[in-house]
Structure 1
Amino acid sequence: MTQPARIEYQAAERYDSGMVMEEAAPAAEHWPFTAARFEVPPGATTELDVHDVVELWMVRSGTGRVVSGDTTMDVAPGAMVYFASRVPHRVTNTGTDQLRLFSVWWRGPSS
């Protein structure tokens, strides 16, 4: 694709934790990365995630606590968190509003 294009999201996937994720539509398959937006309800913790790709999260709104390997950090709007390949990670919504994040993942130097 050489021209700018608006990319839609696929249908929302709902998880047992209460997380809702919308991955970028297949039309973006030529990208060197994949993207999604997701929400975590107040008090919920996402399932532990571990994969071969590297990943970057950006917090859009809400507050949370990210655990990645042996590291724990609090996050708020504008915060970005990078996850190396094969390092388990999850997030807990520590606030009273939805925690909204944007995620991008790709095969990086550690994958």
Structure 2
Amino acid sequence: MNIRLNNKALFETNTGLKVLEVDLTTILPEVPFELSQFTVAVDGHSPDESHEEREIWIITSGSGQLKYKGAIYNLIAGQAVTFSPNIVHTIKNTGETTLNVISIWWKEQ
């Protein structure tokens, strides 16, 4: 079975961040979470962000530094991190290749 996900560009920043939305509703109409994939260019970073949703990032390739709750964490491919709601977080690509991340988020009930 071959499933094609509906990917569409959400936005791009001048700091090297590019976000693609992954629409799972074509295969799971009532999916309880949202999903995106994003890339951060070499020496690029995401803007500071906080939101009401709980979130998980899965690093699929590359490496970077996460700033979360005032601390810095080095991340590499194969690692995952989770974020509590309303806590500022950002990531900087510290590697020599593009940083690729899957983001999954949902509102807690």
Cα offset for 1:89?
0.1
What is the letter of the counterpart of residue 51 of structure 1? H
2:24–2:31 CA contact under 8 A, matched in 1: no
Moved over 6 A (4+): none
Aligned to 1:18: 16
Alpha-carbon distance in structure 1 between the residues aligned to 2:95 and 2:24? 33
1:93 correspondence with 2:93: yes
Q: Distance in 2 between matches of 1:97 and 1:5?
A: 28
Counterpart check, 1:42 vs 2:42: yes
Return the TM-score normalized by structure 2: 0.87
Instruction: Work out the CA distance in 1 between the residues paired with 2:60 and 2:92.
Output: 15
Q: Distance in 2 between matches of 1:103 and 1:5?
A: 19
1:1-111 aligned at under 5 Å gives the runs 6-25=4-23, 27=25, 30-108=30-108
Residue 5 of structure 1 and its aligned partner are, at CA, apart by 5.2
TM-score by length of structure 1 reads 0.86
Residues 57-95 of structure 1 show CA distances to partners (whole Å, capped at 9, x for unaligned) of 000000000011123210001100100000000000001
Structure 1 unmatched runs, 5+: none
Contact 1:7/1:27, CA 8 A, preserved across alignment: no
**Equivalent-residue separation in structure 1 for 2:36 and 2:65 (angstroms):** 19
Structure 2: 5+ residue stretches without partners: none
Relative distance call for 1:26 and 1:80 in structure 2 (3 A) is closer
What is the CA–CA distance in structure 2 between the aligned matches of 1:6 and 1:49, rounded to whole Å? 29
**How many percent identity over aligned positions?**
24
The alignment covers a number of residue pairs equal to 106
Contact 1:55 1:84 in 2 (8 A): yes
| Distance (whole Å) between structure 1 residues aligned to residue 24 and residue 100 of structure 2 | 22
User: Higher strand share goes to which structure?
Assistant: 2
| 1:10/1:23 contact within 8 Å kept | yes
